[in-house]
Amino acid sequence: MTIKAENWIDGEYRGAERWVESNNPATAEVLGVFADATLEDGKDAIAAARRVFDKTDWKRQPRLREKVLLAMADRIEAKQNELVDLLVAENGKTRAIAAAEIASCHSEFRFYAGLTRSTFGRIASLEPDSLLLLKREPLGVAGIIVPWNAPLILLVRSLAPALAAGCTTVIKAAPQTALISAAFMEVIANVEGIYAGTINMVAETGSAIAQHLVDSLDVDVISYTGSTHVGKMIMASGAKTLKRMNLELGGSAPGVVFADANLDMATEVMAKTSMVMAGQMCVALSRVIAHESIIDEMTERLSKRLGGMVVGNGADPKTEMGPMIDNGACQRISKLLAEAGKSGEIILKGEKPGGDLAKGAFMTPSLVRVKNQTVPLLQGEIFGPILTIDSFHDEIEAISKANETRYGLAASVWTKDFARAQRVVDRIDAGTVWINQHLRLYPEVETGGYKESGIGRLHGVEGLSEFMHTKCIGWDYGG
């Protein structure tokens, strides 16, 4: 029996005239269908969220919001296995990565539940017989536009702080993962105490609802995760209403490897974190920049490790890398590889495997040695199973090559000299920089980008601020 996923609007499920199939990218089998929401559905969802924010006490009940967030966390944890199964089937990622994503979701809800009752303001007295009260207030209705690559945690890291702040929400789910998004909503939507219309979720194959979220005067803040190209369009369109923007956009994460690094550890971590979710992750390692004295050794090590990586169905515990999201993504990566051969040396060429994997959207890993960081392959976000490698002569050149991109989301530095590590970290333009590790993310710690990798921060205490105003109240109580 296939899944039938409906939209969640104003506390009720709603179908549609048009139903769209969702497929397993590993097998091409149909998993189910989802209701393709219309613009009217989107408007109804916004109206419901607006009503709850304006007409109920949701924004003035922090203890209720804490209770709701904790209940959501408990429900997610109780349904973890079912959610993992569907996430693996519809997205293609390995079961281990899917399980980590679900665990991050209930952890994130609990973290923001703890902050819900701690949104205190400040008080100042700058003149006799007067006070200035600085009060924290929710922004209003939050439009959350979610990508398909990590559809649950990238939803929760916006949804949890928005609800904790006292906002109401309209979520635009990605069509590629509409079934798991609907299943997740079924788990959390009806917890005790929440007002109908506080959370709304729609899935659409087009962009009419997303555009309306950005344009609508009834939506106060947009939280979007996705490409830099679309993020720029959202920001430009949002300027018409001057709404608050929280944007986490593209990345091209470098890993700078000095000659004294632990190459065994660096090779293993770099191989895994470059191919996590088949490379379809904005903070995945994308560019290895190794010292010239070890460039040949690192190239050989990475080629051997990537070439031996087990590619297959994410449900198989032996699988290290699952499929891409669809065959269109495979074609895009194949085109990138063809172009890469013109400006670099393809050390390991990825390809679509045959046999049992022939029907799926699989691509094996690739390693490309580039001459410099300005080659066409590196001008955009790769977002697929291609890792590049280049060399540097000294610290100054390493920093220059790491920063030679319009992105600044994440990076890593590999060395046993921690003084040097700190010098390099201080000079790399990225929102997150790891030392001798990569891809360590926590609900308690803020993430976000420099340059064209985005605006604002999510996770951590600052993530709550993305959904809040500060109001100043002046009070003169003198005679």
Indicate which residues carry an active-site annotation. Answer: 248, 282
For residue 461, give both structure tokens: 């205490």
**Strand-pair partners of 19:** 35
DSSP secondary structure letter of residue 365: -
Helices 208-215 and 228-238, packing angle to 10 deg: 40
**Cα 159 from chain centre:** 12
Within 13 A of 165's CA, how many CA atoms are on the CB side? 29
- Cα separation values, 125 from 119, 122, 131, 179, 479, Å: 21, 11, 5, 54, 16
Question: CA 451: distance to chain centroid?
Answer: 17
| Alpha carbon 446 to chain centroid, angstroms | 13
By the 8 A CB rule, do 218 and 46 touch? yes
DSSP assignment letter at 197: T
Residue 159 burial (C-beta neighbours within 10 Å; 0-12, 13-18, 19+): buried
β-strands 285-291, 386-392 pairing: parallel
Q: How far is CA 433 from CA 319, 395, 427, in A?
A: 28, 16, 10
Angle, CA of 168, 191 and 470, to the nearest 5° = 30
Residues with Cβ within 8 Å of residue 385, at least 6 apart in sequence: 274, 275, 278, 279, 321, 324, 333, 350, 363, 364, 365, 366
Alpha helices in 132-245, H assignment, sequence order: 153-165, 178-188, 208-215, 228-238
Locate tokens 């087990």: which residue?
310
For residue 173, the cross-strand partners are 203
3-state secondary structure of 223: strand
CA dist 336 and 344 (Å) reads 12
Residue 224: phi, psi to the nearest 5?
Answer: -125, 135
